[in-house]
Amino acid sequence: MVSAILLVSCPDRKGIVREIASFIATNNGNIIHFDQHIDFQKGIFFARVEWDITEFRIPRDQIGEAFKPIAEKFSMDYRIHFSDYLQKVAIFVSKQGHCLYDLLQRFRSGDLRGSPELVISNHPDLRPVAEFFGVPFYHIPKSRDNKRETEEKELKLLEEKGIDLIVLARYMQILSKDFVDRYRNRIINIHHSFLPAFPGAKPYHRAYERGVKIIGATSHYVTEVLDEGPIIDQDIIRVSHRDSLEDFIRKGKDIERMVLARAVKWHLEHKVLVYEGRTVVFD
C-alpha cells in the first residue's frame, strides 16, 4: 500500500476538515490517519492527513496541483509526501559514536525508514562504524580558518546525494547561518540537556556542578541561534549524589539516543510541523 501524506497549516475557520476530506473521498482515497490540531491562542489550524492512494483517481504527480484551489481558498501552507519515497539522510558526527551506531542500526533493522547516504565527520574515528553499515564516510577536518571552505565542500556533497535530512548525531560544530538556511527545518540536532537548561558547551559538567537530580536530552531543529530551535522531543533520567560526572555522561547517552531516534523517526514519517519556534508532533 502506498499512501499520500498531506501536511497543512492555515488560519482556522469553518469547513477545512470537510474540504480536505471531500477532496480525498471524492477522488476515491481512503483516509488512514487524520490528525488535526488547533492553536486556539493564535487561531491556527494544523493537520496531517494520510490516505491510501492505491485507487486514488488523481495521478500522484498531479495531486499537489489538484489540491491547490483548496489550499488557496484557506490560505494554507501545505506539503504532500508519499510513503514509498525513501528519504536520503546525512549524518554528521564528531568522535562520540553511540548515536551513530544507534541510528545506523535502526535504519538497518527497518525501525527507521530512510536511506543513510553518507556520514560526515571532522574526525576520522568513526569511519569503521560507517563502513560496517555500508555507508560512505567523509572525513572533513575543520579549523577556525577553513570553516567556509569545508561547509562548501559539505554542501556540495549533500546536493550531489540529494540529501533530504541532516542529522547532527553529537556533532560538536556550529553550522553557519547560510548552511542552516539551505536546510531550514531539515537539520535535527541532539543536545545533551533538557533545554532551555544548560544550552551550549559542557551541559553535563554544568548539571553536575549545579547538583541537579535529573539529566536529559533534547532533539530540535537547528536554527541560527544555538540550541534555541524548535524542540521535537525531550526526555530525562534520574541521577543522584552517587553518580559521578562520568555516570552523568554514561546515563545521558541512553537518553540522547532515544530522543534523537524518536525525532528522526517522526520527521521521516512527516509527523512534525514547525510554527513560531515550536513544533506540532502528530505521534
The b/e string for 10-21 (b: 16+ C-beta within 10 A; e otherwise) is beeeeebeebbe
Q: Is 230 in the site for its own copies (CB under 8 A)?
A: yes
The C-alpha cell at 3 is: 499512501
Site string for its own copies, 249-278 (x = CB under 8 A): -x--xx---x------------------xx
* 202 touches its own copies by CB under 8 A: no
Task: Tell me: does residue 283 bind its own copies (CB under 8 A).
Answer: yes
Q: How far is the CB of 146 from its own copies (least distance, A)?
A: 30
Position 25 contacts its own copies (CB under 8 A) = yes
Which residue among 3, 4, 36, 144 contacts its own copies (CB under 8 A)?
A: 36
155 binding its own copies? (CB under 8 A): no
Structural Rg of the chain based on CA atoms: 21
Return the residue of 14, 61, 144, 201 that touches its own copies, per CB under 8 A: 14
Is residue 137 within 8 Å of residue 131, measured between CB atoms?
A: yes
Q: Is 196 in the site for its own copies (CB under 8 A)?
A: yes
200 makes contact with its own copies (CB under 8 A): no
113 interacts with its own copies by CB under 8 A:
no
Q: How far apart, in Å, are the Cα atoms of 189 and each of 43, 109, 161?
A: 29, 22, 20
Residue 146 Cα distances to 17, 59, 94, 150, 167, angstroms: 51, 47, 17, 6, 22
Site for its own copies contains 138 (CB under 8 A): no
Smallest gap, in angstroms, from Cβ of residue 3 to its own copies? 12
Question: First CA to last CA across the chain, in angstroms?
Answer: 20
Nearer to its own copies, 156 or 250 (CB): 250
Annotation marks residue 227 as catalytic: yes
Across 154-188, b (16+ Cβ under 10 Å) vs e yields beebbeeeebbbbbbbbbeeebeeebbebbebbbb
Q: Is 83 in the site for its own copies (CB under 8 A)?
A: no
Provide CB contacts within 8 A for 78, sequence distance 6+. 6, 7, 8, 9, 67, 71
The answer to whether residue 214 forms part of the interface with its own copies (CB under 8 A) is yes
Q: Is 119 in the site for its own copies (CB under 8 A)?
A: no
Number of residues assigned to the chain: 283
Active site residues: 227
Q: Which residues bind its own copies (CB under 8 A)?
A: 12-18, 21-22, 24-26, 28-41, 97-98, 101, 105, 109, 111, 128, 132, 194-198, 210-214, 216, 230-236, 240-242, 244-245, 250, 253-254, 258, 277-281, 283
